[in-house]
Amino acid sequence: MASAIYQCIEQIGSKIIEHKDFLTELDREIGDADHGINMARGYSEALKALPQEEEDIGAVLKKTGMTLLSKVGGASGPLYGTAYMKAAKVAAGKKALTLEDGKAMLEEAIAGIKMRGKAVQGEKTMLDALIPAYEALTEGMAAGKSPYECLADMCAAAEKGVEYTKTIRATKGRASYLGDRSIGHQDPGATSSLYTLEAIRDFVKGL
């Protein structure tokens, strides 16, 4: 029987693979048309490389990050790779996670992406989905909502963040070459970040 964390990564991978063409299409508009292809390849390889029965959540996340790093190719390799490896440190040695752990993992992942991409919120990147998501999760927890409600709020905020990326100009990455012409298009990295969070929400709901 595959461990819960393996199943969760599998669910994230399936969601990314399912939306591979759409992500690539978004990247064709403002980038180099490989985001969906690269991410789908990364997750396919990760699912092959991960030990299915390993229960140490940190170990599985670290391996996921390292595989994405070595298989994705574009900027999303180091960015998602770093995010997973940072989250892995919080989960090291753990076989179960609380919502508090999840929040700390998202915080670390965001810090890793900021550090690796030298980016801040508002530059039409993954961070425009992830930072509002983290804030909504934190608020939900402070308001004493149920774990699933907190995760649902997190995803709703990430979705708004993705919408927001349509209104702004890219200043980081390949899309920044387009300047104002990047306005009107939603960011592929913010979109794949939303899918990741939604897959986690749905996984938790199914537990």
Partner 1 sequence: MVGIVIVSHSEKLAEGVRELASQMASPDLPIIAAGGIDGGIGTDAFKIQAGIEEADRGEGVLILADLGSAIMSAETAIDLLEREIRVVIADTPVVEGAVSAAVTASTGAGLDEVLEAAMEAREMHKL
Q: Taking the CA of residue 146 as centre, how many other CA atoms within 13 Å lie in the half-sphere pointing to its CB?
A: 6
Among 94, 145, 166, 174, binds partner 1 (CB under 8 A): 174
What CA–CA distances, in Å, run from 44 to 24, 64, 76, 116? 16, 10, 15, 24
The verdict on 82 binding partner 1 (CB under 8 A) reads: yes
Q: Which strand (E) or helix (H) includes residue 176?
A: none
The verdict on 71 binding partner 1 (CB under 8 A) reads: yes
| Binding range to partner 1, per CB under 8 A, among 4-12, 77-85, 95-103, 130-138 | 77-85
**Nearer of residues 13 and 77 to partner 1, judged by Cβ:** 77
Kindly provide the b/e burial profile for residues 23-46, where b requires at least 16 CB atoms within 10 angstroms of the residue's own CB: bbebbebbbebbbbbbbbbbbebb
The CB-of-81 to partner 1 minimum distance in angstroms stands at 7
| Binding range to partner 1, per CB under 8 A, among 73-81, 127-135, 151-159, 161-169 | 73-81
Site string for partner 1, 29-58 (x = CB under 8 A): ---------x--------------------
The verdict on 169 binding partner 1 (CB under 8 A) reads: no
**Helical H runs in the chain?**
4-18, 20-30, 35-49, 57-71, 76-91, 99-117, 127-142, 147-165, 188-205
Q: Tell me which residues touch partner 1 (CB under 8 A).
A: 38, 66, 69-75, 77-79, 81-82, 116-117, 173-174
